[in-house]
Amino acid sequence: MAKDPSPRRPRAEPPKGFRDYFGADVTERKAMLDTIAEVYQLHGFDPLETAAVETVEALGKFLPDVDRPNAGVFAWQEDEEGASRAGDWLALRYDLTAPLARVAAQFRNDLPSPYRRYAMGPVWRNEKPGPGRFRQFYQCDADTVGAPSVAADAEICAMLAEALEAVGIVRGDYLIRVNNRKVLNGVMEVIGIAGAEHEDARGTVLRAIDKFDKFGEAGVRDLIGAGRMDGSGDFTRGAGLGEAQADVVMGFMSARRESGAATCARLRELVVGSDMGLEGVTELETIAELLASQGYGPDRIIIDPSVVRGLGYYTGPVFEAELTFEILDEKGRKRQFGSVAGGGRYDGLVERFTGQKVPATGVSIGVDRLLAALREKGRLGGAAPGPVIVTVMDRERMDDYLGMANELRRAGIRAEVYLGNPKNFGNQLKYADKRGSPIAVIQGGDEAARGVVQLKDLALGARIAAEASHEEWKAQPAQSEAPREGLVAAVRALLGRG
C-alpha cells in the first residue's frame, strides 16, 4: 500500500506584486506622513479613516487603461448571508478618493461644507506588477469637498508644494504642473471627437498625450494618427486622426510658454469655438494669478498642457508633482525621477450618490515613491538605531535585568532584555548586532556584587573594526564600567558620543 504523500508546505513568500515592510521602511514612512499631516492640519484639514473594503457600486469604475478583471480592483461577491444586499460585490479600495465621495454623501447633513479632510493608508489595484510597481501601495490624500471656486484647486497646489518642501524636497528639485480637463475637452470639440460615438478615439488621444514624456512628439503623433510600432515590432493602433486634427493636438502639447499668462493666451487661441475649452482656460488663468499673488512662482508651480491624469473622474483642473533631479535607472542610464503626486477636480463623484452637484478637488501623494526619492537624495537616515540590549548572564537574576531595561525606558531610552537562550554570550552579541543596537549592558555576578555594570559600545566597536588598526582598537574605550545607579547617565553619555 502506497504511503500518503507528505502534505505540501505553503511557500513562505507574499503573492506577486506585494511586499513586506520592515524596521526603517515603517518608521521612515510614519515620520514622513507625520510631517505631511502637520502641513495639512495647518491648512485646516481634518483626518479621516475609511474602511479598506467598499462595495464595487460605491467605488465606481474609474481606473485608467486596465486589462484586469473587475476594472483593476480586487473584488469578490458576497453570499446572501454576509451581504448587505444579496449578490453585493465588494472590493478593496483602489484609491482614497472614491471612499471620500461615499462618506461625503452619507454624512452630508453632519459634515461642514466645505469639508476639508486628509487621509493616509494602503490601497490595492489588481494590475500587472512590475519593477517598483506593486499591487498594494500607500497613498496620502488631501481633499476639499463643497468648494466650487478654483481657489480651492490653487490652495491644494500650494499646500502640496509646502508638503514636499517640509519633508525635504528642496525648491528646484520639484515642479507642480497644472492643466485643466475642460481645456482638453475643448480641444476634442475643436477637432470633432467630443461625442459619445468617439469615446474610444478620445481615450486613445488622452493616453497618447499622457505618454509625451515617454514617446516624444513623433511617438504621440503616431499614436493619435494611424498607430505606432515600437522597437520590438509590436503595433499599437492609433486614434485615426487626420493631419489637421493632429496638428491641433500637437499645437496644444507645445502650448507651454515662459509664463502662465502666456501659456493661457496660446491655449485660448487653440480652443476658439469651444465654450467648455474657454471656461477651462479662464480657470487656469485664475489659478495662475492666485498662486502668483501668494508667492508660488514658476520655480514651483507652472501651467503645463501636457498634464492629463489617467483617472476618468476628473472634470476640471488637474495637477501633478514631478521631481526634476536625475537618478540612474536599473541599466545605469540617467533619467528624471518623475511624478510623486497628482490630483485634480472631480465634481461628479459625490453626485453619483446624491443626484446633486457637489464640487470637490484634491491631491494624492504616492508615499512609497516619495520615500524612494528622499532616499535617493540622502535625506533619510537609513536604518534607525536599535534598542539598548540588556544581556542576561544569570537566569535567576532576570528581575534585575528587566529592572535595568525598565529604568532605561522610563528615561526615554529604547531598551530590551535579551529573551533568547542566554547560555552562549556570543549569540547575545550577535543578536544585538542584527538589531543594530548601539550599546549592550552586561552585569554578571561579579559586577552585581560590586554594584557596577559593563557597557559595551557596539556602535563604536563596529566603526573601529571597520576603520582602525588592531592597536587603535585596543586603545579605544569600546567597553567601560559604570556604577549601577548611574546606568541611565552612562548610557546617555555613550549615545551622545555616537
- Which range among 13-27, 49-63, 201-215 shows the weakest confidence by mean pLDDT? 201-215
pLDDT at 376: 84
407 — pLDDT class (breaks 50, 70, 90): very high
The predicted-structure confidence for 319-330, as pLDDT tens digits, reads as follows: 999 999 877 666
**pLDDT(191) > 70:** yes
Residue range 118-142, pLDDT digits in tens: 999 999 998 888 777 889 999 999 9
160 has pLDDT over 80:
yes
The CATH classification number of 388-497 equals 3.40.50.800
Is pLDDT above 80 for 467?
no
What is the percentage of the chain residues whose pLDDT exceeds 90?
A: 57
| Lowest mean pLDDT segment, chosen from 174-178, 235-239, 367-371, 390-394 | 235-239
Q: What is the pLDDT of residue 303?
A: 94
- Compute the C-alpha angle 214/284/220, nearest 5°: 20
**Start-to-end C-alpha separation, the chain:** 67
Q: What is the pLDDT of residue 127?
A: 83
Residue 82 CB coordination number (10 Å): 8
**What does the alpha-carbon distance between residue 27 and residue 33 come to, in Å, rounded to a whole number?**
10
3-class SS letters over the chain: CCCCCCCCCCCCCCCCCCCCCCHHHHHHHHHHHHHHHHHHHHCCCEECCCCCEEEHHHHCCCCCCCCCHHHHCCEEECCCCCCCCCCCEEEECCCCHHHHHHHHHHCCCCCCCCEEEEEEEEEECCCCCECCECCEEEEEEEEEECCCCCHHHHHHHHHHHHHHHHHCCCCCCEEEEEEEHHHHHHHHHHCCCCCHHHHHHHHHHHHHHHCHHHHHHHHHHHHHCCEEECCCCCEEECCCCCHHHHHHHHHHHCCCCCCHHHHHHHHHHHCCCCHHHHHHHHHHHHHHHHHHHCCCCCCCEEECCCCCCCCCCCCCEEEEEEEEEEEECCCCCEEEEEEEEEEEECCCCCHHHHCCCCCEEEEEEEHHHHHHHHHHCCCCCCCCCCCEEECCCCHHHHHHHHHHHHHHHHCCCCEEECCCCCCCHHHHHHHHHHCCCCEEEECCHHHHHHCEEEEEEHHHHHHHHHHCCHHHHHHCCCEEEEEHHHHHHHHHHHHHHC
Contact 454, 445 (CB under 8 A): no
Per-residue model confidence as pLDDT tens digits over 163-190: 999 999 999 999 999 999 999 889 889 9
> Residue 444's pLDDT is what?
94
pLDDT at 69: 46
d(CA 315, CA 435): 50
Residue 109 has pLDDT above 70, yes or no: yes
Kindly report, residue by residue over 39-92, the tens digit of the pLDDT: 999 999 999 999 999 998 898 876 654 444 456 888 888 876 655 565 688 999
Closest CA to 74 of 89, 86, 62: 89
Is the predicted pLDDT of residue 201 greater than 90, yes or no? no
Closest to 118 measured CA to CA, from 31, 34, 55, 21: 34
CA pair distance 297, 320, nearest whole angstrom: 16
Q: pLDDT at position 470, please?
A: 47
Average pLDDT over residues 362-369: 94
Question: Which residue(s) pair with 177 in the sheet?
Answer: 302, 320
Greater confidence (385 vs 417) lies with 417
What is the residue whose three cell numbers read 493632429? 246
pLDDT in tens, 287-300: 999 999 999 999 99
* Residue 183 buriedness (CB in 10 A; 0-12 / 13-18 / 19+): buried
Residue 354 has pLDDT above 70, yes or no: yes
Lowest mean per-residue pLDDT among 226-235, 419-428, 430-439 = 226-235
Q: How many CB atoms lie within 10 A of CB 475?
A: 11
State the Cα–Cα distance between residues 144 and 118, nearest whole angstrom.
Answer: 9
Is residue 166 within 8 A of residue 43, CB to CB? The reply is: no
**pLDDT at site 322:** 94
In this prediction, residue 463 carries a pLDDT of 62
Binning pLDDT at 50, 70 and 90, where does residue 473 land?
very low
Q: Rounded CA gap, 123 and 492, in Å? A: 41
